[in-house]
Structure 1
Amino acid sequence: MKLQLFTLTNQNNMKVTITNLGGRVVSIFVPDKNGKMVDVALGYDNLQCYLKDNEPYFGAIIGRYGNRIAKGKFSLGNKEYRLEINNGPNALHGGSDGFHNKVWQAEQIDDHVLILGLFSPDGEGGYPGNLNVKVTYSLTPENALKIDYEAETDKKTIINLTNHSYFNLDGEGNLSISDHVLTIDADHIVEVDETAIATGNLLTVENTPFDFRKPKSIGNHIDDEHQQIRFGQGYDHTFVFNKKEGLEKVASIYSDKTGINLDVFTEEPGLQLYTGNFLDGKDKDGKNGNPYPHRSGFCLETQHFPDSPNQPNFPSTVLNVGETYNTTTIYQFGIHQ
């Protein structure tokens, strides 16, 4: 299949471009407080750049399993499965040949809807089961990018899909997201060890740098002397939502500079806040030649918890034969009031 670029538009002149390479969101143009259209998604002008080694998953669909699995192994029943070790001693984001590097089948239904499909064969990346995946991107009249994920398997397996878009509400190419004001409805985070793998414990955000229950700038406590901050080299942690099951608003973030606000709605139980701690500006292939330095973009990856297959007290990521994996996340843009 050839690499393609698709454009979704709505009546408000919002425009989203998506490629079938990794199902990646390439650009998101939204109006700022003065009506100027601003691209708030980091990425590349050249699709081939997304195939580079150590490319940071810009805009990609992540699978089969978003986030880390300890020592690249897990068990289902009496059988142990082994995955590629690609992040220290652990497996990350489905491995080097994960969904972010696949060419997806694509069908654009109209100006607003793009449907992507992928078949992942039994054993690919070490995961069991022939998996059929469908991801639908929809751009709504309310300036929301809606992502519907579906999957079915013919063998008991695990799955945890997410989108890895990097945002900068000042516009991609701006140097920092530290002054963005963030709110997350979460009383706890998933504790990680020095290899960024979940310990199985949940930590309260009370009196810690992770308390975003009231709006505060990302940069306020991002370099505090706190063990979890040190392990993540900033924020690279899963926040555990207070919400019940169902689609609910879980996070908001805005820029005073542009006035652009982003609300996140999801059915997932958690969100990985990642603040671009490993971006270093050495990659000069960003859009318009922008280098994307340290902390010039943030990710709000809705998902189940890291290492859930090895943590029985976490919400299950098992998909059984006859079941349909089905989850929705919405990124809605507006002007902060």
Structure 2
Amino acid sequence: MAEFRPVLLSLPTSLTPSIVLEVLPYGLTIHKLLVQADGRTHDIVIGPETPKDHITQKYTNSVVGRYANRIPVGTHVLERKGFKSELKALPNESPIVSLHGGPVGFDAVPWTILTDDNPPKLFSRSELSRIAGLPESSFAVFRLISPAGDQGFPGELTVEMLIALISPESPTKPISTSGDEQYSLGSVVIVYRAKLEGETKTVTPVNLTQHWGFNLDASLQDGPDPLTIKEHTLTIKADHVAELGSSALGTGNFIGVSTKPAHAHTAKIIGDKFPEAGYDDYYLFSESARSTIETRIPLSSFGDESDYLKDLLRPSDDAERGIRAGAVVELKSKRSGLKLAFDTNQRGAMFYSNALARATNGARKKIHGGSGISSDGNAYGPHTAAFLEFHHPLTAFLYPENKDAEDTLLTSDELYHNYVRCDVTLNPPRPEA
């Protein structure tokens, strides 16, 4: 089936590219994220060996939408800037919780890869020219059309996603300023665009993210021993964490991380002050760390010359960042020497430690010491991955204080614009004395 045939993206840096992506049209799933570092091949995302196993091993590196995370089941009246509609959230996680867009979300349907004969519609002429200037093997654009009423969401929504790999300008030149040798291996950039279609103007919730789970040491595994991310170091530039009510539904309130040491991720080893249940929490980035890049662009101001990609596609070792803010999340491993630095125009991120995973369910990749066989008993257990999901606050449209502000609603007069960028660097590990 074509939706399970990987689309291969790679950097044209050498005979052995420093970064390779395998993307499945099914659920826009990042099946593999291969990094060449220190003479080894690392696959830094967890998941099944066989592409079709993503059907049952859900939310493993796929896109989720129309709406990330949990919404209370039921009918919700929506209003933004005079546009009104209703969302009828359908149950899937439980009778009272709609998770990641409903029973058949964006993660569980095939996306269409776009070509010159069927080009993108949600990127400007200038942006398409910029994309075309990238090496041919390093990018792809996909489209999904979500009909009105899909999973209870109002309005027909066209969604397009650009996935691109960006080479460093000087891959052999250290970029560190701290004395340790640190090398840029390249960057993964994902840009999400969405637009409501039809003559009747309306409004719909949209809050997309990539539900990708990282383990920077997994490919150093020699056998089926348990994996863990507890020795990874995590930084999240957040001063608040979302308060959760029953069934892990957001309440709209936020708690200062200064009162919860387990959530103060400032170069913190993940296993330090580790909660008994693990992590499944939304962090609100501090005001000083947030991006100023728009997340909804008025269609009236979006024309052929508009270019919101220029700074997103810069090499990671470029001294200029343009309007991009600094990294808001960093994940690194002393053992492998790999570090991921993320920037985004979203207001926060979920950190999920794969707490609900069971080694008896699903499959573990062979490169991670698994058999690759589903239900073989050596899959990924709890706390084997750091899922880092960048999106706006949980169910923001439910709370009156967000009206006409950051309410995660999109009107027919707006273009949804969401990006996340992951810069991959290597600090070669020193051999133990």
Both structures adopt the same fold (TM-score exceeding 0.5) = yes
Residue identity matched to 1:193: G
- Could you tell me how far apart the structure 2 residues matched to 1:73 and 1:297 are? 34
1:81 to 70, 84, 87: 87
Show the counterpart of 1:271.
Answer: 349
Residue identity matched to 2:248: A
- Could you tell me how far apart the structure 1 residues matched to 2:400 and 2:235 are? 29
Residue identity matched to 2:107: H
- Could you tell me how far apart the structure 2 residues matched to 1:47 and 1:263 are? 27
Q: CA 1:284–1:63 in 2, change beyond 3 Å: closer, same or farther?
A: closer
- How far residue 168 of structure 1 moved from its aligned partner, in angstroms, is 0.3
Show the counterpart of 2:140.
Answer: 114
Residue identity matched to 2:209: T
- Could you tell me how far apart the structure 1 residues matched to 2:427 and 2:236 are? 16
Show the counterpart of 1:311.
Answer: 399
Q: CA 1:308–1:210 in 2, change beyond 3 Å: closer, same or farther?
A: farther
Given the alignment of the two structures, is residue 95 of structure 1 paired with residue 99 of structure 2, yes or no? no
- Could you tell me how far apart the structure 1 residues matched to 2:74 and 2:232 are? 35
Alignment of 1:156-171 (within 5 A): 156-171=203-218
- Could you tell me how far apart the structure 2 residues matched to 1:84 and 1:2 are? 29
Partner deviation per Cα, 1:157-178 (whole Å, 9 max, x = no partner) = 1100000111101025761011
- How far residue 18 of structure 1 moved from its aligned partner, in angstroms, is 0.5
Residue identity matched to 1:149: Y
Given the alignment of the two structures, is residue 147 of structure 1 paired with residue 190 of structure 2, yes or no? yes
Q: Does structure 1 conserve the Cα–Cα contact (< 8 Å) formed by 2:157 and 2:194?
A: yes
Q: CA 1:40–1:72 in 2, change beyond 3 Å: closer, same or farther?
A: farther
Partner deviation per Cα, 1:41-82 (whole Å, 9 max, x = no partner) = 112222221112xx3311101110011112344211465421
Q: The residue matched to 2:248 in structure 1 has which SS?
A: coil
Given the alignment of the two structures, is residue 326 of structure 1 paired with residue 417 of structure 2, yes or no? yes
Q: The residue matched to 2:401 in structure 1 has which SS?
A: coil
- How far residue 96 of structure 1 moved from its aligned partner, in angstroms, is 2.1
Residue identity matched to 1:166: G
Runs of 5+ consecutive residues of structure 1 not aligned to the other structure: 225-232
Q: The residue matched to 1:21 in structure 2 has which SS?
A: coil
Q: Does structure 1 conserve the Cα–Cα contact (< 8 Å) formed by 2:354 and 2:383?
A: yes
Measured on the aligned residues, the alpha-carbon RMSD in Å equals 1.9
Show the counterpart of 1:8.
Answer: 9
Q: Decide which moves more: 11-20 or 112-121.
A: 11-20
- How far residue 312 of structure 1 moved from its aligned partner, in angstroms, is 2.9
Taking structure 2 as the reference length, what is the TM-score of the superposition? 0.72
Given the alignment of the two structures, is residue 130 of structure 1 paired with residue 156 of structure 2, yes or no? yes
- Could you tell me how far apart the structure 2 residues matched to 1:84 and 1:112 are? 37
- Could you tell me how far apart the structure 2 residues matched to 1:72 and 1:263 are? 38
Alignment of 1:1-337 (within 5 A): 2-3=2-3, 4-10=5-11, 11=13, 12-32=17-37, 34-52=38-56, 55-77=57-79, 79-88=85-94, 89-107=96-114, 110-142=136-168, 143-154=186-197, 155-171=202-218, 175-223=227-275, 233-242=277-286, 243-244=289-290, 245-246=292-293, 247-248=324-325, 249-288=327-366, 289=372, 291-314=379-402, 315-336=406-427
- How far residue 284 of structure 1 moved from its aligned partner, in angstroms, is 4.4
Runs of 5+ consecutive residues of structure 2 not aligned to the other structure: 116-131, 169-185, 294-323, 367-371, 373-377, 429-433
Q: The residue matched to 2:87 in structure 1 has which SS?
A: strand
Identity of aligned residues (%): 27
Q: Decide which moves more: 264-273 or 109-118.
A: 109-118
Q: Does structure 2 conserve the Cα–Cα contact (< 8 Å) formed by 1:31 and 1:260?
A: no
- Could you tell me how far apart the structure 2 residues matched to 1:151 and 1:270 are? 19
Taking structure 1 as the reference length, what is the TM-score of the superposition? 0.91
- Could you tell me how far apart the structure 1 residues matched to 2:426 and 2:400 are? 41
- Could you tell me how far apart the structure 2 residues matched to 1:26 and 1:153 are? 29
Residue identity matched to 1:240: L
Q: Does structure 1 conserve the Cα–Cα contact (< 8 Å) formed by 2:86 and 2:153?
A: no
Show the counterpart of 1:230.
Answer: none
Q: Does structure 2 conserve the Cα–Cα contact (< 8 Å) formed by 1:209 and 1:222?
A: no
Residue identity matched to 1:295: H
Q: The residue matched to 2:214 in structure 1 has which SS?
A: coil
Show the counterpart of 2:126.
Answer: none
Aligned length: 326
Partner deviation per Cα, 1:292-315 (whole Å, 9 max, x = no partner) = 111111111000111112123352
Residue identity matched to 2:425: G
Q: The residue matched to 2:271 in structure 1 has which SS?
A: helix
